[in-house]
């Protein structure tokens, strides 16, 4: 798999915007994607309910695209490692919900997945810079988690810049992923700020040809990336 700091932008279509009765077809329609982003919501951490482990297990069998599980759930210390055991390539949980993020990251890694930490728009990054040494991915939310189709929040980009500076300086080794409101009009700003993984839900599955939408987003990000 691509490792953090690869010069190529990675596109992670979010199946939140796909037809939940046809997830295997949705995955097939974006077979050039780098990761397939799977939003797990528990109706507690966020006011929405989506899918959980059984669906991830079925998706794992239905597609060869590496699964990027984004857990918007309470008590990730307990519930995150099973997603790694189910074969997810990357398991990201929210720092706001975690009690012991380092222990949870270690459990995810020892089950064979990359470990990701996510921050909501209002959560600062500075208190977690040391903790992030134990992670492979930082997911900076560029909308409030819970729903697709929201407007991109450019005001969180300083966190992307800060993370990229620490990666560039060699203090951290991370994918810097952005999630929420990413589309043709916003991906360049995120790439310029230093993101290298781009989640896109409505911009991909709302398009007539999701596969082409992935390639078009990748092309736009490629021209603006500053690693
Ligand atoms: C929001 C989810 C996102 C969502 C993004 O809570 O984490 O992954 O699918 O959807 P768009 O790209 O439509 O903003
Ligand atoms: Zn997400």
* Paired tokens of 140: 């900076």
pLDDT tens-digit map of 206-224 = 999 999 999 999 999 999 9
Task: Tell how far the Cα of 206 is from the centroid of ligand 1, in angstroms.
Answer: 12
* Paired tokens of 22: 């046809």
Of ligand 1's listed atoms, the one at least distance from the Cα of 141 is 7
Known catalytic membership, residue 209 = no
Catalytic residue among 34, 42, 68, 179: 179
pLDDT of residue 227: 79
Q: Where are the beta strands (DSSP E) in the chain?
A: 10-13, 36-41, 67-72, 90-94, 114-119, 137-141, 175-179, 197-200
Q: Is the CB of 9 under 6 A from ligand 1?
A: no
**For tokens 């209002």, what's the residue?**
122
pLDDT of residue 167: 98
Distance CA 69, CA 92 (A): 6
Task: Tell how far the Cα of 43 is from the centroid of ligand 2, in angstroms.
Answer: 15
Q: Is the CB of 94 under 6 A from ligand 1?
A: no
pLDDT of residue 226: 80
Q: According to DSSP H, which parts of 181-225 are helical?
A: 187-193, 202-205, 210-224
pLDDT tens-digit map of 70-120 = 999 999 999 999 999 999 999 999 999 999 999 999 999 999 999 999 999
Q: Is the CB of 39 under 6 A from ligand 1?
A: yes
> At CA 174, angle to CA 173 and CA 179, rounded to 5?
165
Q: How confident is the model at residue 5 (pLDDT cuts 50, 70, 90)?
A: low
3-state secondary structure 61-95: HHCCCCEEEEEECCCHHHHCHHHHHCCCCEEEEEC
């Amino acid at each position: 798999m691509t490792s953090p700091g690869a010069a190529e932008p990675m596109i992670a279509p979010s199946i939140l915007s796909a037809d939940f009765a046809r997830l295997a077809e949705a995955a097939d329609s974006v077979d050039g994607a780098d990761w397939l982003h799977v939003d797990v919501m528990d109706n507690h951490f966020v006011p929405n309910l989506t899918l959980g482990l059984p669906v991830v297990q079925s998706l794992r069998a239905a597609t060869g695209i590496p699964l990027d599980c984004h857990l918007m759930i309470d008590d990730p210390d307990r519930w995150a490692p099973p997603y790694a055991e189910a074969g997810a390539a990357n398991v990201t949980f929210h720092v706001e919900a975690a009690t012991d993020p380092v222990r949870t990251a270690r459990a995810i890694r020892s089950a064979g997945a990359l470990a990701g930490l996510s921050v909501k728009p209002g959560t600062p990054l500075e208190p977690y810079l040391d903790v992030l040494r134990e992670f492979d991915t930082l997911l900076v939310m560029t909308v409030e988690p819970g729903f697709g189709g929201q407007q991109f929040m450019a005001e969180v980009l300083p966190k992307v810049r800060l993370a990229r500076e620490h990666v560039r300086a060699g203090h951290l080794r991370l994918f810097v992923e952005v999630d929420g409101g990413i589309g043709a009009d916003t991906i360049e700003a995120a790439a310029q700020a230093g993101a290298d993984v781009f989640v896109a839900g409505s911009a991909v599955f709302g398009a007539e040809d999701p596969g082409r939408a992935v390639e078009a987003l990748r092309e736009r990000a490629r021209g603006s990336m500053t690693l």
